Amino acid sequence: MSLTLPLITQAERRHRLGHRHGLAPSARMATVPQAADAVVALHATDAATVFLSVRARLTASDPTMVEQALYEDVSLVRLLSMRNTLFAVSTDLAPYVDSSTARAIAVKERRSLLKHLDEDGQGLDAVWLADAERAALDALDTLGPSAGGQLSAAVPALRRKITVGRGKKYEAETGVATRVIRLLAADGRIRRDRPRGAWTSSQYRWVHTEPWPVVPVAEARAEIARRWLRAYGPATEADFKWWTGWTLTEARKALAATGAEQVRLESGVTALVGPGDTLPETAPEPWAALLPALDPSAMGWADRGFHLDPEYRGALFDYAGNVGPTVWWNGEIVGGWAQRTDGRIVWRLLGSRDRTVERAVSAEAARLAEWIGDARITPRFRTPLERELVA
């Protein structure tokens, strides 16, 4: 590593996080798409995460503001994309996410389903699948927003069952409805609409929609890389490869297309930033944040050493590497939080912290409780500290 490379300190990385992720009060956003774009994409596996991640980054909001963006304005959409995971992105970015990542996932989904249909031996093939998809879209046009069960009731083909892994130890009979719906969503021909229940529910209805405009794959990947470097740089190729789920070659080509520049970190590692993005980052005002499970600010890098003490990982992550609800102070994860069944927000700081931190976190917890109101938040992926706080 060359000592002539610009140095970006750990403190400056935390300053960038506060400014660029919209977490410092002075950096908060005005709209839901702006909040999503600040971190490129919002994790959407857990329905509540989208709402709570947006809440932390807006100057003022309530759940209905996020619902409007998702279901009325459709300025925020959910796509199966990076790491084969569900994300919510602005509609401005969606065509790039679709072309760079979601298209390839859709191809694999179709290939997998056709393989299962062939192995089942009922004579179900690509023609049958195309007819079933067309019938499902026609049903949505007739019924309007519909849950999976409603679609199955309206489309006989979706009530078919197939045997997966016939003759193998893991042989199982399964319905095709979920697989066909997942494929239509991956293809961009349907999208998730309002859930059945509150905003915390993942039992979505579906609506017929038009596929996203096609963007050349190289252009789409370069745009994702450019935005990711702005939000998460300085970062390494390994961080970007992990975040996207692309191959190392694909990640390297995308980063190279941005004209990324090298910098050095205090750890001795060489990292990347966007062109010209090497100037020192000033500190924002002191800030505290209570972020939800899977929030992008915790999940944006493979190596999170600059904002997470390794000793805290066991308390805050599950066995699969999913982060739980976290407490932040000035760009550093300092604890975790949970909501009890009576609605109370409880939290715990890890390590020794002074009264300034405690007061700031307490105030943020009160703000969060007011925003959540009567809703109840239970993360899909439970972590040791979250379970302990709820008990």
| DSSP code of residue 235 | B
**pLDDT at position 121 over 90:** no
Non-local (6+) Cβ contacts of 391 within 8 A are: none
Domain boundaries, the chain: 94-208
User: Where do we find the tokens 């004579």?
Assistant: 123
Share of the chain above pLDDT 70, in %: 99
**pLDDT at position 235 over 60:** yes
Residue 219 is predicted with a pLDDT of 98
Token pair of 288 as six digits: 């505290």
Q: Is 293 exposed, middle or buried (0-12, 13-18, 19+ CB in 10 A)?
A: buried
Which of 154, 213, 151 is closest to 182 using CA atoms?
Answer: 151
Residue 2 is predicted with a pLDDT of 62
Phi then psi for residue 60, to 5 deg, are -155, 140
Break the chain down into helix, strand, coil percent, rounded to 5: 45, 20, 35
pLDDT tens sequence across 128-173: 999 999 999 999 999 999 999 999 999 999 999 998 877 788 788 8
Residues 288, 327: Cα–Cα separation, whole Å? 7
Q: What is the mean pLDDT of residues 339-355?
A: 95
Side chain identity at 5, as an amino acid letter? L
Q: What is the mean pLDDT of residues 330-345?
A: 97
Token pair of 330 as six digits: 């000035």
Residue 253 is predicted with a pLDDT of 98
pTM here is 0.95
Q: What is the mean pLDDT of residues 323-344?
A: 97
User: Where do we find the tokens 């494929």?
Assistant: 183
**pLDDT at position 41 over 70:** yes
Q: Is 143 exposed, middle or buried (0-12, 13-18, 19+ CB in 10 A)?
A: middle
Residue 166 is predicted with a pLDDT of 78
**What is the number of residues in the chain?**
391
Which of 226, 228, 180, 185 is closest to 206 using CA atoms?
Answer: 185
Q: What is the mean pLDDT of residues 25-40?
A: 98
Phi-psi category of 289—alpha, beta or left, where left has phi over 0 and alpha has psi -120 to 50?
Answer: beta
Residues 216, 99: Cα–Cα separation, whole Å? 7
pLDDT tens sequence across 302-312: 999 999 999 99
